[in-house]
Amino acid sequence: MNRDEAHLVLSDGEVFEGYSAGYVSQSGVCEGEFVFNTALSGYQEVITDPSYAGQIISFTYPHIGNYGVTSLDNEALRPYCRGVVVRELCDVPSNWRSQRSLEQFLIDHQIPAIVGIDTRRLTRHLRAHGAVPGAFGVGGVDAVRSASLRARTTDNCDLASEVTTTHRYDLGDGDLHVVAIDYGIKTTMVRQLAQRFRLSVLPASSTAEQIDELKPDGIFLSNGPGDPAALGAATQELRLMLGKYPIFGICLGHQLLASALGAHTFKLPFGHHGSNHPVKNVSTGNVEITAQNHNYAVAPQSLQRSEITHVNLNDGVIEGLASRAERCFSVQYHPEAGPGPHDSRYLFDQFEDLLRGKWSVG
């Protein structure tokens, strides 16, 4: 396939050469914060994860798109990432589930891509210098360099309000009623909850008073993009619900719950993005292989009213918290596993046990 030459330029001046793919905007340039994902498969679930809002995803696996795309694997109605970086993009996918090529999917959803990039070099640079902003596109390296200097990081950004549902919706028919606050909730997460509970999904801006009116048996805090420190209003609403309902949080929901319990968050150098991160359950000693997608984490020295339940074996980052007094727990990783191993899906059963009084937090 004939492709136009393109450039990728980071805000620190690092330049990469490649070729344009996917959707090409009128400006021909895409800006965002660059992060790398180490998953070997599940590229569609990664691209449609709303937690990537504001970011450009670089895949470390060199060959992407070989099994095409199916609507059954979408984690949101559309992708919210700014763009995609790939070493080699498959032109002719082959799989019985495939409905179209990955490139056609990107074009249909207006997501730019750049291919032919030395993603190994890019990954090494991001590991050394962190998740830096930048740009890629056609029109010459000078135009892309100018765009890279305008690009923003996700620091202090409330991106949850851009990806959350605009209205309440209900699923499932269980005897227990759970309210899920959507900060960027993934489809697999909704599916896991709806299999167990009567589920009401509410916008991220929902107040404690609005949730009280629904009289739920428990509250679920979803994943989502951006800086948890920018969601002060959401944290304040959570404080009003602590101790009133059992609460289970994942990813951004974990960070917000920790903040409501008095802890603080910080930005990791390059985050955790992949489906092969080892996490140790502190109480059992078991090691789970987990799917992860986050740039921020909870600062251990700031913990006040919660205990650490899980830790990352790669770098020691807090991966789980619990508070017996407030009947709440959370994990930084993605137990719903879309994509990723299913080692941690027991946590949804644990949440149900908490609501039924069969399990005590901690």
Beta pairing partners, 33: 55, 133
Overall residue count recorded for the chain in this entry:
362
| Helix orientation angle between 252-260 and 232-241, rounded to the nearest 10 degrees | 70
CA distance 328 to 280: 19
Choose among 311, 308, 338: nearest CA to 323: 308
3-class DSSP state for residue 54? Answer: coil
Quick one: 82 exposed, middle or buried, by C-beta within 10 A (0-12, 13-18, 19+)?
A: buried
Name the residues annotated as catalytic: 251, 334, 336
Q: How far apart are CA 168 and CA 187, in angstroms?
A: 15
Q: Is 7 helix (H, G, I), strand (E, B) or coil?
A: strand
Query: Are β-strands 247-250 and 328-331 bridged in parallel, bridged antiparallel, or unpaired?
Result: parallel
CA atoms within 13 A on the CB side of 335: 24
Q: DSSP E strands: which ranges in the chain?
A: 5-10, 15-22, 29-37, 55-59, 63-64, 83-86, 88-89, 112-115, 133-137, 169-171, 177-182, 198-203, 218-221, 247-250, 265-281, 287-298, 307-312, 318-323, 328-331
Greatest alpha-carbon span in the chain: 62
- Tokens at 168, concatenated: 């309440």
Instruction: Identify the burial level of 213 via C-beta atoms within 10 angstroms of its C-beta, where 0-12 means exposed, 13-18 middle and 19 or more buried.
Output: exposed
CA distance 86 to 113: 8
